[in-house]
């Protein structure tokens, strides 16, 4: 490949190897582009032709530089998180970087939460978790980037809080930031007005700027990859299975001590000790749950991984990380969270364990529902 080939949209060096990184363009597309003399990276191509913004991810260093820059601006910071993977989508130390700038915390994907969950309760819960993480948001909002009418409310809130300043939208990858930005563009200026020129200092990335009425901008920043998300261990096809696309239907299990639940082949939950009680699984409706005896669970997994227990699919089991065990002693109603996959609510005191692929977090939190 010609190393110096640059995208005529944003100027980034074109590469054909890593679709998650800047300057990517598929090989076949590149060849066509070379013939016509118009080589765009995939991101600019999609922006031009489909009015669509793709998220690119930054290395940790670049991301820190970007965050540092935010502290030096006078702006409203809109931090988008995925309410289905709240802790997995928080940006570590964000509060230290933003300086005196206000943060509007936006919990995205509210459409997948079960209707039984009160929104006011969810907002309160997010506030508490944000405070624990050192964030003091001026407001916490729930939204769904998939719904145009929700964007109107979000834009009104942004207008209320920005007080004549610029707006920076920040978030880790997979929280739905590009979907949200695309909705905002559709609902406001239209793609023609969007500017993708100047770079974030010290990084190779261009900004996407959406002009606001008073000469200020709404600025999309690149996302950072959070390595503890399940998403990074799966193929796109599987992601569609694990990422819920519609309202989750909670599944209730009455379990006895010594029983195990498999969440596809992706995770495992053991009821180690306690009285018979209810356990409620909140995961994508497309993930099959299987119940078995704890004492047989290891063998069951070995035998059925990639088969009965999917995803991962059979051709992926060799690269899929082994499951690692975390034990929890539960006193009150508690959620055992599998980062990016969902959670199981334990309703009575118990000792339980959660297993997830090596690298993916399993954690305990006060029950949400």
The CB-of-158 to ligand GDP minimum distance in angstroms stands at 17
Work out how close the CB of 242 gets to ligand GDP at its nearest, in angstroms, rounded to a whole number: 10
By beta-carbon proximity to ligand GDP, the closer residue of 161 and 177 is 177
Minimum distance from residue 140 beta carbon to ligand GDP (Å): 16
Q: Which is nearer to ligand GDP, 146 or 161 (CB)?
A: 146
> Tokens standing for 310?
């999917």
* Cα 58 to Cα 223: distance, rounded to the nearest angstrom: 6
Q: Are 264 and 244 in contact (CB under 8 A)?
A: no
Tokens standing for 321? 């990380």
Of 43 and 268, which has the nearer Cβ to ligand GDP? Answer: 43
CA distance 7 to 11: 5
> Which C-beta is closer to ligand GDP: that of 143 or that of 345?
143
> CB nearest ligand GDP: which residue?
176
Q: Whole-number minimum distance, CB 245 to ligand GDP, in Å? A: 5
Shortest distance (Å) from residue 208 CB to ligand GDP: 11
Q: Which residues bind ligand GDP (CB under 6 A)?
A: 55, 108-109, 111-112, 144-146, 171, 173-179, 223, 243, 245
Q: DSSP per residue over 48-105, as a string?
A: HHH------EE-HHHHHHHHHHHHTS-EEEEEEEEGGGHHHHPPTTHHHHSTT--EEE
- Least distance (Å) between residue 267 CB and ligand GDP: 19
Choose between 245 and 314: whose C-beta lies nearer to ligand GDP: 245
Quick one: 122 or 243, whose CB is closer to ligand GDP?
243
> In this structure, what token pair is assigned to residue 296?
């047989």
| Residue 337 Cβ vs ligand GDP, minimum distance, rounded to whole Å | 18
From residue 121, give the alpha-carbon distance in Å to each of 149, 151, 183.
22, 21, 26
Question: Shortest approach of ligand GDP to residue 88 CB, angstroms?
Answer: 12
Q: Do 75 and 166 meet the contact criterion of CB atoms below 8 Å apart?
A: yes
Q: Name the residue with tokens 């261990």.
A: 233
CB of 144 to ligand GDP, least distance (A): 4
Residue 101 vs 174, nearer CB to ligand GDP: 174
Question: Residue 43 or residue 165: which is nearer to ligand GDP going by CB?
Answer: 43
**Strand boundaries in the chain, DSSP class E:** 57-58, 75-82, 103-108, 139-142, 166-170, 208-211, 217-220, 223-224, 251-255, 259-263, 267-273, 277-283, 289-293, 323-330, 334-338, 342-346, 350-357, 362-366
Residues 6+ positions from 258 with CB-CB distance below 8 Å? 271, 272, 293, 294, 295
Provide φ and ψ at 340, rounded to 5°: 85, -5
Residue whose token pair is 């334990």: 346
User: Residue 146 or residue 165: which is nearer to ligand GDP going by CB?
Assistant: 146
């Amino acid at each position: 490949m010609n190393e110096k080939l640059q995208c005529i949209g944003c100027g980034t060096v074109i590469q054909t190897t890593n679709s998650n990184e800047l300057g990517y363009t598929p090989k076949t597309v590149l060849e066509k582009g070379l013939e016509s003399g118009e080589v765009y990276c995939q991101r600019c191509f999609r922006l031009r032709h489909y009015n669509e913004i793709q998220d690119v991810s930054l290395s940790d260093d670049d991301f820190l530089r970007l965050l540092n820059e935010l502290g030096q601006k006078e702006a409203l910071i809109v931090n988008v998180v995925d309410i289905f993977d709240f802790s997995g989508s928080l940006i570590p130390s964000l509060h230290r970087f933003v300086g005196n700038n206000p943060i509007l915390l936006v919990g995205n994907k509210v459409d997948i939460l079960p209707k039984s969950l009160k929104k006011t309760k969810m907002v309160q819960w997010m506030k508490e978790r944000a405070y624990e993480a050192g964030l003091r948001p001026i407001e916490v909002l729930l939204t769904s980037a998939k719904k145009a009418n929700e964007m109107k409310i979000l834009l009104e809130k942004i207008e209320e809080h920005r007080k004549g300043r610029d707006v920076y939208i920040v978030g880790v990858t997979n929280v739905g930031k590009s979907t949200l930005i695309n909705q905002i563009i559709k609902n406001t200026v239209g793609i023609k007005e969007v500017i993708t020129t100047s770079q974030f200092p010290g990084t190779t990335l261009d900004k996407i700027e959406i002009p606001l009425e008073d000469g200020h901008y709404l600025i999309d920043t690149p996302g950072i990859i959070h390595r503890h998300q399940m998403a990074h261990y799966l193929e796109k096809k599987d992601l569609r299975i694990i990422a819920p696309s519609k309202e989750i239907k909670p599944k209730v299990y009455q379990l006895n001590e010594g029983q195990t639940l498999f969440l596809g082949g992706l995770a495992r939950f053991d009821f180690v000790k306690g009285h018979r009680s209810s356990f409620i699984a909140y995961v994508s409706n497309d993930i099959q749950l299987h119940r078995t005896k704890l004492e047989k669970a290891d063998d069951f997994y070995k035998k059925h991984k990639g088969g009965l227990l999917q995803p991962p699919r059979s051709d992926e089991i060799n690269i899929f990380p082994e499951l690692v065990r975390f034990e929890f002693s539960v006193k009150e109603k508690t959620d055992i969270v599998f980062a990016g996959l969902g959670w199981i609510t334990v309703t009575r005191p118990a000792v339980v364990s959660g297993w997830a692929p090596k690298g993916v977090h399993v954690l305990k939190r006060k029950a949400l529902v």
